[in-house]
Structure 1
């Protein structure tokens, strides 16, 4: 571990340098109030330099098409077995109807993810089923951007059908998928994954699938499940691997569009994990600290940073706009996965609510597309 003073590390960041992992760990380990304030101040200055003052948001609708899942992640309260009470699997007609509702409310994006349901097949093929879903939605609403299927879902389809990740991604892209959510990353530490999600794909596979998507021209987002039992070293190693992905993607037609910190919500998690974490709801101060460090560590390469209002509440998420974040996420319209884990932030926000929160920061607001292209003119606070 380096012993470089914190102000020297922050000066290096303001000079435009990429910090070393040791420097990132030092930032995460800072605890004194004046140190935390200095980190947030630097993160805010870098946000202004890298992303500007305008706070963006997207009008989108979540579509969680099934909660039937073969896996048993220790932090998930969403998944069900097929014969368990509360299990569901939407028909194509219901999915299209939900998309129609989103489009009628102004959505430009459908974010579609679901459980890993072994029965979700057409003629014995998982890929055929997923492509059928995509074609049904894009056939009815060709203008909608489908932000769909995590690397875990890609791995599941490939494993079910005996295909390569590239084959799966290419067919999903051909069917109409426009980008991939960078979820299922949790923390890219196999030590930690063996504890919290032992059945999920390993770190190397997540990285391989995301990099393959970039190579094929499919943009992705990136995430990290933070604030549970990860060490500072594991958290920074996760950010470092995202940074390396983005550096590699310079030669590819697509890249990571944003980083989203996902603070742990443990209210419905199994007792052993809840006990180890020691709380049911996110620690707002620690979450804001992590997001500031993420901006400092990643901002040269991943420009857009977003808090989770579902996990932190809109007020908490708005505080992150003064500590490194430049985007407030989406309207969602319907949210199940985090809410079922015990999150208190809600399941839907209106455009007016998002703009109202941005106005409290005295910053301009602008609706964007999934890929951060402007939809509306910048709305300047009065």
Structure 2
């Protein structure tokens, strides 16, 4: 039985949403039905994590955009001698980290292109270990959230190592968690069009599962709103849920959060732009998908985050009433999505995030990467009542 009211009553009673029922929710077009889905997602958010909205003070650090791959949606990557190519040296990386610390950051999120030249003594892993060790030595207070499953596969391939060996070495050097990026859509039919050179669905899952088994938490993501179908979106969420269930059954933290990444195509290669037919995300589509993600994943992955870079701060704030409970990070700089044509900006101050959260009448709470609170919650300003 897949009537909307039955589905929503069942999830409010604590049952997991079936994939078929998830597709039913995503296919709704009636305004009243979508409102019911939003209210259900918001009720589950309130039940699972409460009213407080969290944020992290962090800095993105993309150390190079030189990349051997040519993903169909990417405006960030460059060839080595191409205009706009960059590769930060150790001094530049430490300067950026020092600036982040001065501005109150507790996290560095570090990812980069797959640069075949990034080696020491002819090997890839020592280069990455030096990046981590240098940051750890100078700024031991920073949590290093670094290197996607795609980067792990690249290092392992270059050096003839297992995924587990690469992850364990990086973890021992100071990496505290892994970004769940490079997932795009976990469906190889989509990946063959969108990013045919990237790792397969099975490899992404294997690497993330290996990280969990080594005790390294990850995040999870979905790149949405391009060529994928509702069925493929739900299949992606089903795989994430299964991974998390497996991790938790073994006593591991697994995935700390789910982040929806709506497609921005303004600077994407022309074939994909023509196929998608628009340059910016459709907010209504993203909000519905975020609500369904809360309904589908929330019992297993309780923290959900919109992307203010992709949706703008107003769109991300609205998402906090569609099942999301975290507004993301300050970022301080952002290259990948901005180079794709996003309009949301590259940096926000903590006070700006707090103001957005308070506009909903909800408390704001700074957190660390693993969702431990930092300091006291910031309560919304008192509103004077008329006499």
Q: Within 1, Cα distance between the matches of 2:333 and 2:268?
A: 21
Structure 1 unaligned spans of 5+: none
Question: What are the residue-to-residue correspondences of 1:257-276 with 2, within 5 Å?
Answer: 257-276=256-275
SS in 2 for 1:318: helix
Contact 1:214 1:252 in 2 (8 A): no
Give the length in aligned residue pairs.
380
Residue deviations 1:52-110 (CA, integer Å, cap 9, x gap): 10000000000000000000001000000001011110001110110000000000000
Q: What is the aligned partner in structure 2 of residue 171 from structure 1?
A: 169
Moved runs in structure 1, 4+ residues, more than 4 A? Answer: none
SS in 1 for 2:362: coil
2:91 aligned residue (86, 90, 93): 93
Q: What is the aligned partner in structure 2 of residue 186 from structure 1?
A: 184
Q: What is the aligned partner in structure 2 of residue 254 from structure 1?
A: 253
Contact 1:69 1:80 in 2 (8 A): yes
Q: What is the aligned partner in structure 1 of residue 57 from structure 2?
A: 59
SS in 2 for 1:70: coil
Q: What is the aligned partner in structure 2 of residue 218 from structure 1?
A: 216
Q: Within 2, Cα distance between the matches of 1:203 and 1:216?
A: 20
Alpha-carbon distance, 1:360 to partner:
0.6
Contact 1:305 1:326 in 2 (8 A): yes
Alpha-carbon distance, 1:378 to partner:
1.1
Residue deviations 1:156-196 (CA, integer Å, cap 9, x gap): 00000000000000000011000000000000000000000
Q: Within 2, Cα distance between the matches of 1:344 and 1:381?
A: 27
Alpha-carbon distance, 1:127 to partner:
0.4
SS in 1 for 2:320: helix
Residue deviations 1:193-226 (CA, integer Å, cap 9, x gap): 0000000000000011001001001000000001
Q: Within 1, Cα distance between the matches of 2:2 and 2:232?
A: 20
1:252 to 1:129, Cα distance in 2 relative to 1, 3 A: farther
Q: What is the aligned partner in structure 2 of residue 208 from structure 1?
A: 206
1:372 is aligned to 2:371 = yes
Q: What is the aligned partner in structure 2 of residue 143 from structure 1?
A: 141
Q: What is the aligned partner in structure 1 of residue 385 from structure 2?
A: none
Q: Within 1, Cα distance between the matches of 2:106 and 2:380?
A: 24
Residue deviations 1:35-64 (CA, integer Å, cap 9, x gap): 111100000000000011000000000000
- Cα root mean square deviation, aligned: 0.7
Taking structure 2 as the reference length, the TM-score comes to: 0.97
Contact 2:75 2:269 in 1 (8 A): no
Alpha-carbon distance, 1:253 to partner:
3.1
Q: What is the aligned partner in structure 2 of residue 133 from structure 1?
A: 131
Q: Within 1, Cα distance between the matches of 2:39 and 2:274?
A: 33
